[in-house]
Amino acid sequence: MRHRHGPDNGSVRAAVTGAVTLALVTLLAVPPLLAQSPSASVPNLTGIWHRKGPLGGKRNMPAVPTNRGAGFEKAFDDAFSPTYDCLAAPVPGLMNDNYDFEIIQQTDRVILKYEKMDIVRTVWLEGHGHPKPAANDYVHQGHAVGRYENGRLVVVTTNFTFDPRGFSANQFIPGSTLKKMTERWWRDGDILKLDSVTEDPLSLKQPFLYGFEWTVRTEPLTTYDCDPADSRWGAQWHKSKYPADK
Amino acid sequence: MTDWLRTSAVWRVVVVLVVVLAAMVADVAAHHSTGYYSKEQKDFVTLQGKVTRWEFRSPHSQIYLEVRDKDGKAVVWRFESTPAAWLLREGFKQDSLAVGDEITVEGFSIPGQPFAWLGKVTKADGTRLLPQRSSATPDWWKP
């Protein structure tokens, strides 16, 4: 006499086998997102990058300020510069300094680690449910959101705090809280390329364009470890634009 | 009308020249301005002495050099240079110098002060340490 044990064992086995097969087929068919292997749409930008020169050999022109921006620059006294207290300039100024940097591509974000002042920027990739900043949420290096598009990483950064070094580490055309930077990164062989546009309706008469190229670097980045006392030492020698207080 | 055009053309040339000159420094940035170091030849110093401190760091590496003045009195000079990350590319290392080393240093001083921007170091064995030229390095100086 044949005994029946609940559902038919044969059908259960078939269902489990089918489910496992379906899972395997799905896993093999889906692109390896975790591995971030290069594809036509996702460039392989991961690596440590050494400064080469302006994009296409074309010299970058300085930012052109509005009258308001120029007035600020004229009035600004060097002693106020946050650089003296180990605060790196925000992008794009951070990038126009003679230091290298590293890109680490992860599934849902891209990390940029800068040799200058050991700054770390996180680019939050779209489509991963990252929360947007609140309306009054400002960050020194801004809030960066990225996407891959036609073989490029496109990054849009907003929500910058105000900084007197809005577009360069050594100039004082200020970056307002309305500043917006759009970067396009791509790889051409072993050359990393950047084309960027920064807009600021309060400070800039026209968008500030900055492009650069980097080559592969094999040595690890050097830790900056800014010393605050050393950083501020030079401030005492700058002559103020203003008479001493009595 | 002709005068205006001529004047306008002159100003256009001036503006273009200013923009071109500004662009020549647009791609170069440093930690901060080092304009307080003199670029005049009269403020250039070449000093021989003993290392009392060597700071291989950022934003500015420093050499402290004990020098004897003409009366034999010890004066400590502070030579400032570029960040460690830059010096590494020029062959400097943490152990490139040590306290007690007898060296000769060339630099560009703050007038009247025992502080200078580092030009180059020559060690007792003849080894030269040459930092990258920066905005503080005068054009006339040849290492």
Min Cα separation B77/chain A (Å): 15
Chain B residues lying within 8 Å of A97, measured CB to CB:
29-30
CATH no. for residue B74? 2.40.50.140
Beta-bridge partner residues of A122: A111
Contacts of B59 in chain A (CB under 8 A): 86, 224, 226-227, 230-231
Number of independent structural domains in chain B: 1
Q: How far apart are CA B101 and CA A108, in angstroms?
A: 52
Contact B34 A234 (CB under 8 A): yes
Residue A177 exposed, middle or buried by CB count within 10 Å (0-12, 13-18, 19+): middle
Residue B26 has a pLDDT of 39
Backbone angles phi, psi at A231, to 5 degrees: -60, -35
Domain ranges of chain A: 47-222
For residue B128, give every residue at least 6 positions away whose Cβ sits within 8 Å of its Cβ, in sequence order, or none: B120, B121, B122, B143
Question: What does the H/E/C string look like for B121-134?
Answer: EEECCCCEECCCCC
Tell me if the bond preceding A92 is cis, omega within 30° of 0.
Answer: yes
Residue B70: the pLDDT is 86
Q: Percent of chain B scored above 70 by pLDDT?
A: 78
Q: What's the pLDDT score for residue A137?
A: 97
The stretch B63-76 carries a mean pLDDT of: 94
When mean pLDDT is compared across A132-136, A196-200, B31-35, B46-50, the lowest value belongs to B31-35
| Average pLDDT for B68-81 | 94
Q: Omega before B59 cis (within 30°)?
A: yes
pLDDT at A239: 87
pLDDT of residue A36: 44
Candidate from A197-201, A229-233, B4-8, B49-53 with smallest mean pLDDT: B4-8
B11 in contact with A, Cβ within 8 Å: no
Q: Which of A84, A95, A98, A239 to mutate to test the interface with B (most CBs of B within 10 A)?
A: A98
Q: What is the pLDDT of residue A37?
A: 46
User: Which residues are within 8 A (CB) of B22 and not within 5 positions of it... i.e. 6 or more apart?
Assistant: A62
DSSP A66: -
Smallest CA–CA distance, residue A111 to chain B, in Å, is 21
Tell me if B57 is assigned to some domain. Answer: yes
**pLDDT for A63-108, tens place per residue?**
999 999 999 999 999 999 999 999 999 999 999 888 999 999 999 9
| pTM of this structure | 0.81
Closest C-alpha to A199, from A150, A156, A161, A243:
A156
- How distant is the Cα of B23 from the closest Cα of chain A, in angstroms? 5
Whether the bond into B111 is cis, omega within 30 of 0: no
Q: Is residue B46 scored above 60 in pLDDT?
A: yes
CATH number of A47-222: 2.40.128.20
Residue B65's domain comprises 41-129
Cβ(B59)–Cβ(B31) below 8 Å:
yes
| Span B14-28, pLDDT tens digits | 544 544 444 444 344
Q: Report d(CA B50, CA B104) in Å as an integer.
A: 9
Residue B27 lies in a domain: no
Beta-bridged to residue A48, according to DSSP, are A102
Residue B107 lies in a domain: yes
Chain A residue set in contact with B, beta carbons under 8 Å? 54, 59-62, 78, 81, 83-84, 86, 93, 96-100, 115, 168-170, 221-222, 224-227, 230-231, 233-234, 237-238
Residues of chain A whose pLDDT is less than 70? 1-40
Model pLDDT, residue B7: 55
Q: Return the residue in A52, A196, A237, A239 with the most chain B beta carbons within 10 A, the one to mutate for interface testing.
A: A237
- Confidence band of B69 (pLDDT split at 50, 70, 90): confident
Mean pLDDT of B42-54: 97
Q: Which residue has the tokens 């910058």?
A: A160
Q: HSE on the CB side for A210, CA within 13 Å?
A: 21
Q: What pLDDT sits at residue B66? A: 98
Q: Across the interface, do B33 and A62 touch by the CB < 8 Å criterion?
A: no
Least CB-CB distance to A115: which of B29, B57, B85?
B85
Locate all alpha helices (DSSP H) within A109-174, ordered by sequence. none
Q: CA B120 to CA B130: how far, in whole Å?
A: 5
The rounded distance, in Å, linking the Cα atoms of B118 and A237 is 17
Instruction: Find residue A102's DSSP bridge partners.
Output: A48, A113
